[in-house]
Structure 1
Amino acid sequence: MLTSLSRRLFMGTVAAAAIAGLTPAIAADPIKLRISTPAVEADWHAKMLPVFKEELEKAAPGQFDVEIHLNGTLFKQGTEPAAMQRGNLEMAMISAFDIAKQIPEWSIFTAGYLLRDPEHQTKVFESGIGKEMYGLVEDKMNIKILNVGYLGTRQLNLRTEKEIKTPADLAGVKLRMPGSDTWLFLGKALGANPLPVAFGEIYTALQTGAIDGQDNPLPTVRAAKFYEVTKQIALTDHLVDAIFLSLAGSTWNKLDDKQKAAVMNAAKAAVRFNNENRIKEEAQLADFFKSQGLKVYKPDVEAFRQQVQKAYLESELSKSWPKGMVDRVNAIK
């Protein structure tokens, strides 16, 4: 009788201990991931974020609470890296221009006519170059870059009627650029008079004439409806632009190995969705803009390339570029 009772007590104790050991995992709150972006809902790099959320939920059910904040409603464009560093934001899509504010070496990826096309962009960041440059961001900014997405090839979109054939034709043109020195340098290198304007204010600034034009990839021009208040698009192809899906280092360091793998795989799926759809749409948009009454044409791209590359190579910016990096990027086919 005593033996049977002792056995039952022992088994009960073991079962209670097992349940107690499981309780923290069951009761643990999901990890909040707030994603801030200036993207509008219709743009592909906004549409890729639900893909990230869905893929992450499939891989790690109930472990993450992903909130998507569009239109710069949570943090304004360009302020996201500092917010992540302060611990006020978990995720964002940041640009090379954002990174270059703190890591001058990254200004190489803000230079016009360096990356040739979306395929070249992907290959560069999947190579040792990407590993090296991502490492700088992790070490110096405490931000983990998850993957690079194709933001599009930037073109000139103007409300004026004068055709732009060479950089000289941009003299005096008030061209909107995001508010950082590296962005403004690109605007000057193109031959324009760059003015910093927040993304959310571009439409009204074009409508009122506060600016003469803006530069963005064609899918963004369509998504933000800039074509409604402009008259022409000059296909300068001056920057194969990238967006880096990133996580605050403080958040990344809290994840276990399985969670890190789930986040990386979800980011990969989201970027693939963005790239495939953006490239497909980009190829079709010239005809759409023409149907809306805009003049769409190719200027003297070689004249722009020569002027822009010369401006960068003679600037202080290029002095901070890693030695031999231009040649390494060019060597990737």
Structure 2
Amino acid sequence: MTEQRSFRPGRIISRRALLAGAAAGVLATPLLSRTAFAAGKVIRISTPGSAEEWQSKGLVKFKEALDRDAPGMFDVQIHFNGTLFGQGTEVEAMQRGNLEVGMISPQDIAVLIPEYSIFTTGYLMRDAAHLDAVYDGDIGAEYKARVAKDIGLHIVKSQYLGSRQVMLREPKDVKTPDDLKGLKLRMPGSEAWQFLGNALGGNATPLAFEEIYLALQTGTIDGLENPLTDIISSKFYEVAKQIVLTNHQVSNTFFAMPVAFWDSLTPEEQAAVLAAEIEAKKFNDENVLAGEKDAAAFLESKGVTVSTPDVDAFRAKVLGAFENSDFAKSWPAGLLDRIKAA
């Protein structure tokens, strides 16, 4: 998956609104979607990522695992490149019962649960193991319960997306955030993502992931930030010429299902889905970690300049921006320290 996929502002629905409008929502759902949803067998997965990304390959692994271990139980249909639901519309699609699996980010959750913007903070997570310690532990249990209650989504597992770096269309001497001043840095559209882009020193510019390549090619944007493995799979090295190793966020994405769909499954079906996703997560995480080790050398072989800035300067700027922001005013007391200590 290309990134922690964050939706652009839209008609996203709270759990209360979902319950209040349940009858109307069912009537508004197309017949085919209602039939598939009620059957509890068809699993439609939407991702804006290409089939070449490790997360997308992990979705294929999920399908293969279900087909192997639970033959005939599910019909998994994977839609790449945002062809079923565009980036930013997956949460609402799941809430309305039109999609069984979406790959959503902490930034998506923060739009609907503002105090959980704490999980979008730059330089918060240390590595993939720290992500798992947070989301598989007590903090994660609280997080998932709140997401299920308020948003109506069941988080099956967190997956490692990669450590995020800045990529620039034209080479530039970048040591501190001030060196990115004025550069149009593509970010997903949500407030938390835009805040991160500005905290890095750039001029955060909202743009769907599917539009990045052309925007770099034409100079509509000056750069982006993404994990290295996704930069490679999307071939952004063809239209951008520098990687700045800011390591500004160790990112993840959630394999999520509508609570209503999850609850409609039998215990046997739930166990099969969980087992398949555990296998898919392992496949994804291991390959992303391995890919990160060789990514810089690969990019250099493609003519991309790889540079290391003053990471401490970036960390101080980004952390300071988040901790002194309006976001931080709603953060639960003590949660930041609990996350750091996980």
1:271 to 259, 281, 285: 281
1:115 to 122, 125, 134: 125
1:192 to 199, 202, 208: 202
Secondary structure, aligned partner of 2:319: helix
TM-score scaled by length of structure 2: 0.87
Question: d(CA) in 2 for partners of 1:110 and 1:30?
Answer: 33
- Pairing of 1:88-103 with structure 2 (within 5 A): 88-103=98-113
- Pairing of 1:282-321 with structure 2 (within 5 A): 282-321=292-331
Question: d(CA) in 2 for partners of 1:30 and 1:186?
Answer: 38
**Equivalent residue for 1:175?**
185
Aligned residues: 305
**Equivalent residue for 1:203?**
213
Letter in 2 for 1:47: K
For the 8 Å contact 2:40–2:264, the answer to whether it is kept is no
CA drift at 1:50: 1.3
**Equivalent residue for 1:155?**
165
For the 8 Å contact 1:30–1:65, the answer to whether it is kept is no
Question: d(CA) in 2 for partners of 1:98 and 1:139?
Answer: 15
**Equivalent residue for 2:79?**
69
Secondary structure, aligned partner of 1:253: helix
Secondary structure, aligned partner of 2:264: coil
CA drift at 1:318: 1.1
Secondary structure, aligned partner of 1:293: coil
**Structure 2 unaligned runs (5+)?**
1-37
**Equivalent residue for 2:154?**
144
- Pairing of 1:246-257 with structure 2 (within 5 A): 246-257=256-267
**Equivalent residue for 2:23?**
none
1:79 aligns with 2:89: yes
For the 8 Å contact 1:30–1:62, the answer to whether it is kept is no
1:49 to 46, 59, 78: 59
**Equivalent residue for 2:140?**
130
CA drift at 1:39: 1.0
**Equivalent residue for 2:236?**
226
Q: Over aligned residue pairs, what C-alpha RMSD do you find?
A: 1.1
Question: d(CA) in 1 for partners of 2:127 and 2:330?
Answer: 24
Question: d(CA) in 2 for partners of 1:96 and 1:326?
Answer: 15
1:235 aligns with 2:245: yes
**Equivalent residue for 1:20?**
none
Question: d(CA) in 2 for partners of 1:29 and 1:89?
Answer: 13
- Pairing of 1:22-61 with structure 2 (within 5 A): 31-61=41-71
Secondary structure, aligned partner of 1:216: strand
CA drift at 1:106: 2.0
Deviation track 1:84-136 (CA, whole Å, cap 9, x = no partner) reads 00111111111111111111122111110000111111111111001000111
With 290-299 and 53-62 compared, the bigger mean Cα shift is at 53-62
Letter in 1 for 2:122: G
Question: d(CA) in 1 for partners of 2:116 and 2:170?
Answer: 33
Question: d(CA) in 2 for partners of 1:112 and 1:304?
Answer: 10
For the 8 Å contact 2:40–2:261, the answer to whether it is kept is no
Q: What fraction of aligned residue pairs are identical, expressed as a percent?
A: 51
Question: d(CA) in 1 for partners of 2:39 and 2:193?
Answer: 40
TM-score scaled by length of structure 1: 0.90
**Equivalent residue for 1:259?**
269
Secondary structure, aligned partner of 2:163: strand
Secondary structure, aligned partner of 1:33: strand
CA drift at 1:58: 2.7
CA drift at 1:47: 0.1
Secondary structure, aligned partner of 2:212: helix
Letter in 1 for 2:193: W
For the 8 Å contact 1:30–1:63, the answer to whether it is kept is no
With 273-282 and 57-66 compared, the bigger mean Cα shift is at 57-66
CA drift at 1:319: 1.6
Question: d(CA) in 1 for partners of 2:197 and 2:40?
Answer: 43
Letter in 1 for 2:178: A
Bigger Rg over Cα: 1
**Equivalent residue for 2:9?**
none
CA drift at 1:161: 1.8
